[in-house]
Structure 1
């Protein structure tokens, strides 16, 4: 049964009085807007390629039909009177309030960014599974439709309205003992997800809500009578969203074994290079020629063919589901008790992948420099004299961060030892090998080559069988050391530039920043950067800058 049929089991939409439709008020960022602005992106500006970026995020739909659809829900059953738009990079979130006070959240994906049908169908399946199998608090799905030919003329998901307040709004004011309770809850959540068994790797779908292309025999792997695994689609996969998904379906899963997954990851990277796909963020030094990308990916293929069958890695390769972007902005807590988590949001693009690539430190609990895992406790900072209070404050902050990380580590050991071991026993270079193969077109060849060199140098120490199936000469390793230092310096400068401009890799600047001032800073930083690259032509230097014009 299609998602369109499955999502229309509710009551027939009532016929709204004309006056109710005329009364509809639409808002964003505290101001009233006309209907057309509902479709446009207005949550910030872009330093480069703005016309292109705004066009990607433009998504029209039938507002009247969406209001009818929401009004027809048993949980609402009343005409919609206000819509408040909140916007992300991939979707438009619409807070819809009815005449009787009922409020729901409708999400409209940006059709030029989110993969057609697959993204919506998979997210709904994940939310239903997480809600019923893990007991993690998530919004219930009231209705959905992954077929853009429906009356709304767009895919959509309608959720229950989230209660509580974002953890980002209160984290700095939460007392330390309450932070400890929250951190332990985060580890428990990760453990609950890791305890759900899957027969392979891929994205989750409802068996009775599959996109039409996945209803053919052999396209999915059954999980149980309700769920199945299907292909993973997201923007960095071969061809991007502009391509025909079937053109690269053979690289997008699902996969029953780690060796099949690893081989597909390499093929994705090769497809990107051979299709001349490129990144329009800064490339970084020593990006590599197309042939160098192909050569390093072929080397990665030889490494993965051995690693994917080695007992040390297979021990940590169990397929698990993991939240893709766990941070305080996606956590809602009770307004009365900040230790009580009431909702975890943003499950879009959640996949089932190997434990050793999935389990990671939450971004805001990442280990500070010098942190050691295990039974050791973070060392207390030295006592500084009063006139050195600034240094003492910085050190105390690092100490507090280390203690919170240690709290998460201890909680993970207690709640799910297998995840903890996957996090701490898997060598970083092996993890990076699997996660870098499909994205050399974006990151360049340096990160992947660094992983391969470290694996080559430590093959025996890593407990891998036989001898390494590839090699690097002393001269190649020496050259790489020089190049990776330049690459790391470039990464530091990029991070510093983003902080100054309050931007990201795509040149996005948030709405609370004065855009004209950001543009002026950007021009000045760019001129200074070119001045430091006098050993290169302007065209060569432009490719190293962090924001590149598509032209």
Structure 2
């Protein structure tokens, strides 16, 4: 027995081949330190703050030993290859290949209770878990999940190929996604928060659902605080704020507002107000996938059936109006015509256009049709979700509508309740002009280099973009007529390090 243990231990300590997936899907050799570092993106500002936030130290050999032990019954003795997959912003994933060809997917860190509830209770096609630890005080020195490799292929690899196929292939996926969302939204929870195992939260109550599910299953779970990053970042880490669980939608909205009030009082200027819904309909708290994009859905290329949905790590039980959205992969990037009976059409001069113009129009029409088809199927099969989507739109747009049209409801003879003097008006005009400059710069960044507001870009493009930004900044500041304008230009330049609060 002792010799067998020593043999398996020594085999586990063999250093496997280390590699990483490039953005183009090819692989490259890496060093062990690259497994811990965040390498998918770099930041053109605040990088010295962003990279340490995403650095994860763990014991590689102990992780490999745990993986070998988890599938030793399949004949695995040691790991021969560690492939670092594309990283999420807050977690890392590795594909571990064993000496017998078996493959294990490792994620660090990754909440487990929600995944087990979705898989075992709601029958959502998530990858099967083979081993896990929710306590970072383990030999690996980090929370981890070991799971089966997801069956099928990422939908992102297939979606564009289906451009040349009938629209029915994409429609099949939409219908399956809506069915998954129907299962999720049909399970109503009494409280809002994140799902935990009861053993991890002392003196906690068993999970309650409506309609009630099997009590023996629910006894294993409870609802605890939210792990949403916005509640744990910057100065909020040490603040005494309400992270849940919450008794209902109103308590949740009130807690979010009270948290912000505490934060504003201590550190920050006022952000935009948060507007709660007035109707209690469709405000129950289900759990939905927080980031449903093409690479998080795995599909059988032949049957077009969804085999696995991955990356549930930030999923939470929240009021439906707060988390509902059209999935990214179906969302049209542009205005969508209202009404279920109005569908986009080609223009009258379509046949006289150049081929590339026709293709652009066809792509736009196809994109909007997919968006509207998702809404139509959701309306028919998951009306609660559709109502929440409509409510979300109302909450977002109605305050703006009211402000834009308020003067129409005022009597002409009534004086304005807020009065600005001439210096204040001049200051406002000057500030608006400055904001216009910044908007133009940000629009240029987005259109030319696909640079998002947080400044994150693919690592391979960092030097190119950084050189362009330096050139543009020098030109922007150099165009100032005097020292005062130069200092203002330096202050207005959007890509510069700032202090997180």
Confirm whether residue 62 of structure 1 aligns to residue 73 of structure 2: no
Spell out, residue by residue over 1:389-413, the C-alpha distance to the aligned partner (whole angstroms, 9 max, x if none): 5544433322212211121112112
**Structure 1 171/217 Cα, relative in aligned 2: closer, same or farther at 3 Å?**
closer
Residue aligned with 1:93, SS: strand
Instruction: Indicate the residue corresponding to 1:26 in structure 2.
Output: 18
- CA positional deviation for 1:334: 1.2
Asked whether the 8 Å contact 2:12–2:64 carries over to 1, the reply is no
Deviation at 1:193, TM superposition (A): 0.8
- Distance (whole Å) between structure 2 residues aligned to residue 383 and residue 377 of structure 1: 17
Query: 2:440 and 2:221 mapped to 1: Cα distance?
Result: 43
Equivalent residue for 1:366, pick from 315, 320, 331: 331
Contact 2:438 2:493 in 1 (8 A): no
State the aligned residue count. 459
Matched with 1:235 is: 229
User: Per the alignment, in what secondary structure is the counterpart of residue 369 of structure 2?
Assistant: helix
Deviation (angstroms), 1:143: 1.5
2:328 is the counterpart of 1:380: no
Tell me the C-alpha RMSD between the 2 structures. Answer: 3.4
Q: Please name the residue that 1:144 is paired with.
A: 132
* C-alpha displacement of 1:33: 2.9
* CA shift digits 1:202-259 (9 cap, x unpaired): 1111223x2xxx32568x8655312221111233226548824xx43x4111111222
Question: Aligned partners of 1:179 and 1:27: how far apart in 2?
Answer: 33
Q: Which runs of 5+ in 1 are unaligned?
A: 1-11, 110-119, 278-289, 433-449, 460-471
Shift of 1:342: 1.1
How does 1:490-509 map onto structure 2 within 5 Å? 493-509=441-457
2:454 aligned with 1:520, yes or no?
no
Q: Residue 538 and residue 486 in structure 1: after superposition, are their counterparts in 2 closer, same or farther (change >3 A)? A: closer
Aligned to 1:47: 44
Task: State the Cα distance separating 1:58 from its structure 2 match.
Answer: 2.0
Report the equivalent of 2:215.
none
CA deviation vs aligned residue, 1:41-86 (integer Å, no higher than 9, x gap): 2224332233333322222211111111111114654222221112
More deviation, 488-497/260-269: 488-497
Cα distance 1:156–1:379, how it changes in 2: closer, same or farther (>3 A)? closer
Change (3 A) 1:241 1:40: farther
CA contact (8 A) 1:334 1:342 kept: yes
Q: Does the alignment pair 1:263 with 2:254?
A: yes
- Residue 419 in structure 1 maps to residue 385 in structure 2: yes
Equivalent of 1:199 in 183, 190, 200: 190
Alpha-carbon separation, structure 1, partners of 2:487 and 2:261: 26
3-state SS, counterpart of residue 264 of structure 1? helix
User: For residues 543 and 222 of structure 1, what CA distance do their matches in structure 2 show?
Assistant: 52
**What is the TM-score with the length of structure 2 in the denominator?**
0.81
Tell me the distance in 2 between the aligned counterparts of 1:183 and 1:85.
Answer: 30
Contact 1:201–1:352, Cα closer than 8 Å, also in 2: yes
Deviation at 1:322, TM superposition (A): 0.8
Q: 1:262 deviation in Å? A: 1.2
Contact 1:13–1:72, Cα closer than 8 Å, also in 2: no
Correspondence for 2:495: 547
How big is each residue's C-alpha offset from its partner over 1:482-523, in whole Å with a ceiling of 9 and x where there is no partner? 99999799567535413433443332221343x322211121
Distance across 2 between alignment mates of 1:128 and 1:416:
24
After TM superposition, list the pairs within 5 Å mapping 1:391-406 onto structure 2.
Answer: 391-406=357-372
- Between the aligned partners of 2:93 and 2:333, the Cα distance in structure 1 is 35
Are residue 78 (structure 1) and residue 77 (structure 2) matched? Answer: yes
Q: Indicate the residue corresponding to 2:310 in structure 1.
A: 345
Aligned mates of 1:238, 1:28 — CA distance in 2: 30
CA distance in 2, matches of 1:534, 1:226: 69
Quote the residue 2:108 is aligned against. Answer: 108
Question: Equivalent residue for 1:320?
Answer: 286
Q: How far apart are the structure 2 equivalents of 1:132 and 1:489?
A: 53
- 1:274 is aligned to 2:261: no
Q: Do the aligned partners of 1:133 and 1:196 also contact (CA within 8 Å) in 2? A: no
Q: Residue 392 and residue 19 in structure 1: after superposition, are their counterparts in 2 closer, same or farther (change >3 A)? A: closer
Larger CA Rg, structure 1 vs 2: 2
Distance between the aligned counterparts of 2:348 and 2:232, measured in 1?
55
Change (3 A) 1:13 1:406: farther
Could you list the runs of 5+ residues in structure 2 that have no partner in the other structure? 22-26, 210-217, 407-415
Structure 1 residues 544 and 340, CA gap change in structure 2 (3 angstroms): farther
TM-score scaled by length of structure 1: 0.74
Contact 2:12–2:61 (CA under 8 A) maintained in structure 1: no
Q: 1:163 to 1:428 in 2, by over 3 A?
A: same
User: Which stretch shifts more, 88-97 or 20-29?
Assistant: 20-29
SS of the aligned residue for 2:495 comes to: coil
**Greater alpha carbon shift after TM alignment, 68-77 vs 527-536:** 527-536
Alpha carbons of 1:150 and 1:490: their partners in 2 closer, same or farther (altered >3 Å)? same
Superposed displacement of residue 152, structure 1 = 1.0
Matched residue, 1:280: none
Q: Distance in 1 between matches of 2:234 and 2:306?
A: 36
- The 1:275–1:238 alpha-carbon spacing in structure 2 relative to 1, beyond 3 Å, is farther
